[in-house]
Amino acid sequence: MSELREILGVRHPILLGAFGGLSSISLTAAVSDAGGLGAYGLYGYDGERIRTTAAALREATDQPFALNIWLPTGDEVDPGPQHTVFAQALEPFYEAVGVDVPARPERYLPTLDEQLEAIWDAAPAVLSVVFGVPSTDVVEEAHRRGIRVVGSATTVAEAVALDAAGVDAIIASGSEAAGHRVSFLRSAADSLVGTFALVPQVADAVSVPVIAAGGIADRRGVAAAFALGADGVQVGTAFLATSQSAASDAHRAAIRETAADASVLTRAMSGRLARGARNRAVRAIEASGTIAPFPMQNWLTGRFRAAAGEQNLGELQSLWLGQSAPLAVLDDATAVFDELVAGLPGRFDGLSDRQG
């Protein structure tokens, strides 16, 4: 635990999950100011928006924070003629929120190079990556600039690959977690390992600190994670339910109303497997059998999801939430953080910092 705190430059080894599309300046700053590592998801952000976001974060907090990006996996599709076909299949959802069927864009996502160039300029304390292993050049450049690199693994093999690449810490993301399954060596459907099984095996297999994620929402989950060999925890859903997050009121309500066995893994909203509530949009898209590949589906549904969020229409949003959702009962991010700190080693007999 001490090593992880030193690596990240924080007082407490508690990390905020990086929400693609749902991150907020206020929530990131609140977690950093409380002594943890706030994080901000940059999915889909171009260079200019990254620089603007980083500047806003620096105005909001003088503490360390992480910026998170998705690494390309090589199977992403570019805009093409099929865009129109898939867009028309979603026309009822556009009509429901009062927006036009979107025309084909020049690109769905900015390039990795564009994002990295902006991140180097922003110089966050931590660069976190999902969906892959950062290249040697990326790790070396980050370290040259004093930026720590954290990767995410859903299997032991993925954790070993990240360790070999020289990352500074590894997030072991159990299948209970909200949002996208960030698997990259095998399909997400074939990489569904629960947190309780994943964390100790990753801790035994790698040489860097391990951060447990998935199903952790209160002091009990924190204590369990450290007992399993974790050096820190990453928490998403409990923070997403707070007033500081960018979630809509309908989304926060869904978090508190969705039972652990009622969340689902679906490709409906993005084309990649993700955990959330099965609302009207998910049910209808799954029933249609028409789901575009990533990132086309994510871009297309994003056009009505954004409008639905503004109109607080939960049935047409991506209601990402984990299996610990019923435990997300606190409305304030600082209160959530204090609850998590109460589970750290030193407050529980028999728990100690991981050795080795």
Give the chain's domains with CATH numbers. 2-76+110-254+327-341 (3.20.20.70)
Average pLDDT score over residue span 73-78? 96
pLDDT over 80 (residue 348):
no
**HEC assignment per residue over the chain:** CHHHHHHHCCCCCEEECCCCCCCCHHHHHHHHHCCCEEEEECCCCCHHHHHHHHHHHHHHCCCCEEEEEECCCCCCCCCCCHHHHHHHHCHHHHHHHCCCCCCCCCCCCCCHHHHHHHHHHHCCCEEEEECCCCCHHHHHHHHHCCCEEEEEECCHHHHHHHHHCCCCEEEEECCCCCEECCCCCCCHHHCCCCHHHHHHHHHHHCCCCEEEECCCCCHHHHHHHHHCCCCEEEECHHHHCCCCCCCCHHHHHHHHHCCCCCEEEECCCCCCCEEEECCHHHHHHHHHCCCCCCCHHHHHHHHHHHHHHHCCCHHHCCCECCCCHHHCCCCCHHHHHHHHHCCCCCCCCCCCCCCC
- For the segment 118-132, the average pLDDT, to the nearest whole number, is 98
Tens of pLDDT along 224-281? 999 999 999 999 999 999 999 999 999 999 999 999 999 999 999 999 999 999 999 9
Q: How many whole angstroms separate alpha carbon 216 and alpha carbon 251?
A: 19
Q: What is the pLDDT of residue 20?
A: 86
- Say if residue 352's pLDDT is above 50: no
Distance CA(305)–CA(35), nearest Å, equals 33
Compute the average pLDDT of residues 6-20: 96
pLDDT value at 347 more than 80: no
The predicted-structure confidence for 282-325, as pLDDT tens digits, reads as follows 999 999 999 999 999 999 999 999 999 999 999 999 999 999 99
- pLDDT at res. 202: 98
Give the pLDDT confidence of 139-167 residue by residue, as tens digits. Answer: 999 999 999 999 999 999 999 999 999 99
Which residue, chain included where needed, has tokens 């997403």?
A: 240
Angstrom distance (rounded) from CA 49 to CA 52: 5
d(CA 16, CA 245): 11
The verdict on pTM exceeding 0.85 is yes
d(CA 31, CA 67): 14
What was the pLDDT predicted at 273? 98
Q: Are strands 232-235 and 179-180 parallel, antiparallel or unpaired?
A: unpaired
Is the four-CA dihedral 72, 172, 39, 323 of positive or negative sign?
A: positive
Q: Considering only CA atoms, which of 110, 104, 102 is closest in space to residue 45?
A: 110
Mean pLDDT, residues 106-128: 98
Q: What is the mean pLDDT of residues 5-22?
A: 95
Average pLDDT, the chain: 95
Predicted confidence at residue 1, as pLDDT, reads 62
pLDDT of residue 169: 98
- Token representation of residue 140: 């070396």
Is residue 353 scored above 60 in pLDDT? Answer: no
pLDDT in tens, 175-213: 999 999 999 999 999 999 999 999 999 999 999 999 999
Q: List all residues 6 or more positions away from 346 whose beta carbon is below 8 Å from its beta carbon.
A: none
What pLDDT does 350 receive?
39
